[in-house]
Amino acid sequence: MFLRELTHPVTDLKGIGRRAAESYSRMGITTFFNLAVHLPRTYEDRSRRRPFAEGHDGSQVVTVAAVTAHQRVRFKGGYALKVVMQDESGTAALLCFGRNFLQNTLRIGEKFYLCGQGKFQYGELQISSFETAPWHEDADPPPEFSRIIPFYPLSGSLTQKMVRRHVAALMRSSLKHLQNELPQSIMEASSLMPIAEALKEVHFPSSLDEAEQARRSLAYTELFYLHLVIRRRALKRREVHRKPVQYPGTLMNRVIDSLPFELTEGQKRSISEILHDLGQERPMARLLQGDVGSGKTLTALAAASVVIEAGRQAAFMVPTELLARQHAEEAAKILEPHGVRLALLHGGLPRRERNLLLDSLASGQIDLLIGTHALFSNDVEFTDLGLVIIDEQHRFGVMQRISIGEKGTYPDMLYMTATPIPRTLTMTIFGDLDISTIDTMPPGRKPVITHLASQKSRERVYKAVMAEFNRGRQAYFVYPRIEQGEQSGLKDARGMHEYLSQKIFPGVPAGLIHSQVPQEEKEQTMDAFKRGSIVYLAATSVIEVGVHVENATCMVIEHAERFGLSALHQLRGRVGRGKDQAYAFLIYSDDLTDQGKRRLKIMKETTDGFRIAEEDLNIRGPGDIAGTRQAGFIQFSFADLVRDIQLLKETLQAVLRILTDDPGLLKNEHSVLREVLEKAPPFKEELIDQ
């Protein structure tokens, strides 16, 4: 069986009851598989004996010592127990603050395994953070005092000891059933550990080198299959020979001529690259990247008009309904005057209307269909789907991205992203796509001025925003949560909506937007905001994607450090879309870490989305083991796109070699990679907006 097939619920493991299971599920761990890939965040090497004498400089001691005396030290107006211990190198004092009960366990004359860390002060080694276990002459030392031990991310009632015990139980019950995911020949050629060994080493390593080797082996497998799936698709597409279509492009020229502005150089270049692809024998698979506001939508609509003129259909898929409606409006403005028939398909459509729409689509009376992923439900049939446009493509899973192209007879595919993808990754993960880049902004746009502000100077931010209101401008206020939850201390959209409208901007019309606001109300609010009858929005990051209101000049983001850089960049892109100078105010918490400061500084320094994306990857860098496995658009269990760039290249080479030498060798990629490929990556807004 493959690792991902370990789908038993964690409660099947000995020792995991209701409470532990609930704590696990808060970290997204519900199955054996989830627990198996719950990697330690760090390890501690307790395999070597380190007596008291080695601990004077503050380093860890791991020893066996006897209790020689109990004393008392002053503590919080009372006394705390002080246990004096001796090992072969000297003595140490355990300060048991708040743990006086230890006098019953750490009895004078008895010997204990001890692990801890302290300071040499007042003439003795004082240790206040320690673990102990009774020492027995004939028994082996417990693992906590004799091995390299893992430290896991925890939640709820879980302790390190419990997680270690549960993982160990899992290893005992499941490792023997696990089957290697790569053929022997590849494992040998790349010196990979068998999966059972790798899992054991990654959780309970025999050395730190082995632990890294183990993780590398597991990551190798993951990246290997990712490449394999993507490259197979690319090959398959290359085998397709369609009848080339002759596209006249006169409609497109008319559309472009009727625009109130000139296309930018980047748009012109991208359009001609797309035109070149359309109607080739081989279907197009092109990624159009360009910063927020660079005019990708228009570029895509121009491409659509070419296909439509030839009597074919185009589909435009976006991640949210809000965005679908906005795109439909823009498309209507640009294309309808030229006779293009377009329709908007969304989840809220009454059955009758939906059926009507689907009938018209199937009989070819709709040229352009705009909507969310509902566009690709089974009952949606096109007469002749020629072009599929996918906006904000990073919001869809790799498998979704790949399988959508299977609708129709290999339509041309245009993927768009405003999250510029670091170059290192485009070469690899998006290696099956051709790339067009819009690197020019429409003229007259002024870069957004970004201010960083501490919580304390929030009032000044409000003043600056008020000044903009007085000039007739509008603003967004973004918060990490919808409402006050357990984890308080975070400002929330609902609470701040109330606070702002009562205390700060009384009399200024305000709206509230987050994922739980009913669709209809959301639309009304957005409409009112667009018309200007609502002056500011209090929102969560659901407004992140693509929303376009030219008169909005202020973006205030509270707890800015809680958002990824790419998300901040997207949010900031909501303003500065008109001719007026726009401002972003990033308000950070008082306890901001150094790394957090560095991140926010980058937002102030640059508006270059590519640089921000690279920095986003770099800064998160190889810190702890578990921290960087999610690179925003794809979630791995073991691989880490920062650390594993080299591995990413190596696995790609291996895959390309196999696809030419022995393409039939690998068959089980789906069972191995199921989750990575099929689940859309969690939307950032869903992670935060809760």
Nearest distance in Å: CB 288, Mg ion: 10
Residue nearest to Mg ion (CB): 546
Q: Which of the residues 426 through 455 are near ligand ADP (CB under 6 A)? A: 442
Q: Quote the least distance from Cβ 552 to ligand ADP, whole Å.
A: 13
Burial state string for 44-75 with b = 16 or more CB within 10 A and e = fewer than 16: bebbebbbbebbbeeebbbbbbebeebeeeee
> CB 188: neighbour CB atoms within 10 A?
10
Binding partner of residue 400 among ligand ADP, Mg ion, none, CB under 5 to 8 Å per kind? none
Q: Which of 546, 573, 576, 609 lies at the binding interface for Mg ion (CB under 5 A)?
A: 546
Contact letters for ligand ADP, residues 355-374 (x by CB under 6 A): --------------------
Among positions 193-252, residues that touch ligand ADP (CB under 6 A) are none
DSSP designation for 621: T
Q: CB 574 → ligand ADP: shortest distance, Å? A: 10
**Smaller CB separation from ligand ADP, 55 or 576:** 576
**Is 37 in contact with 171 (CB distance < 8 Å)?**
no
Choose between 150 and 546: whose C-beta lies nearer to Mg ion: 546
Residue nearer to ligand ADP on the CB measure, 55 or 295: 295
Task: Give the three-state DSSP class for 451.
Answer: strand
Provide the terminal-to-terminal Cα distance of the chain, rounded to the nearest Å.
36
Smallest distance, ligand ADP to C-beta of residue 604, A: 21
Query: Does 293 interact with Mg ion (rule: CB under 5 A)?
Result: no
CB of 261 to ligand ADP, least distance (A): 4
Six-digit token string for 181: 């995911």
The smaller minimum CB distance to ligand ADP, of residues 548 and 569, is found at 548
Name which of Mg ion, ligand ADP, none residue 261 binds, using a CB cut-off of 5 to 8 Å depending on partner kind.
ligand ADP
Specify whether the CB–CB gap between 17 and 11 falls below 8 A: yes
Give the separation between CA 43 and CA 212, rounded to whole angstroms. Answer: 11
Nearest to 320, CA basis, from 687, 683, 688:
683
Site for ligand ADP in 568-627 (CB under 6 A): 577
As measured in angstroms, the least distance from the Cβ of 342 to Mg ion is: 17
Half-sphere exposure of 655 (CA within 13 A, CB side): 26
Chain centroid to Cα 250, Å, comes to 42
Strand partners, 285: 413
Q: How does 314-342 read in b/e, with b if 16+ C-beta sit within 10 Å? A: bbbbbbbbbbbbbbbeebeebbeeeebeb
> Could you say which of Mg ion, ligand ADP, none residue 323 binds, taking C-beta under 5 to 8 angstroms by partner kind?
none
Q: Is 417 in the site for ligand ADP (CB under 6 A)?
A: no
**Least distance in Å: CB of 584 to Mg ion?**
18
Q: List phi, psi (to 5°) of 223.
A: -70, -35
Q: Tell me whether residue 192 or residue 545 sits nearer to ligand ADP (CB atom).
A: 545
Instruction: Report the candidate in 582, 573, 532, 591 with the shortest Cα–Cα distance to residue 553.
Output: 582
Contact positions with ligand ADP (CB under 6 A) in 539-558 = 546, 548
Which does residue 271 touch among Mg ion, ligand ADP, none (CB within 5 to 8 A, set by kind)?
Answer: none
Euclidean distance between CA atoms 278 and 307, whole angstroms: 8
Residue closest to 600 by CA, chosen among 638, 560, 646, 558 = 560
- 688, 480 contact by CB (below 8 A): yes
* Ramachandran category for residue 408: left, alpha or beta (phi over 0 → left; psi -120 to 50 → alpha): left
Closest to ligand ADP by CB, 298 vs 641, is: 298
Letters for 276-305 (x = contact with ligand ADP by CB under 6 A, - = none) are --------------x-xxxxxxx-------
**Residue among 40 and 293 whose Cβ is closer to Mg ion:** 293
Alpha-carbon distance 299 to 97, whole Å?
67
In the bound complex, what is the minimum distance in angstroms from residue 327's beta carbon to ligand ADP?
Answer: 8
Of 180 and 417, the one with the shorter C-beta distance to Mg ion is: 417
Chain positions 246 to 275 lying near ligand ADP, rule: CB under 6 A, are 261-264, 267
What is the binding site for Mg ion (CB under 5 A)? Answer: 546
What is the binding site for ligand ADP (CB under 6 A)? Answer: 261-264, 267, 290, 292-298, 418, 442, 546, 548, 577
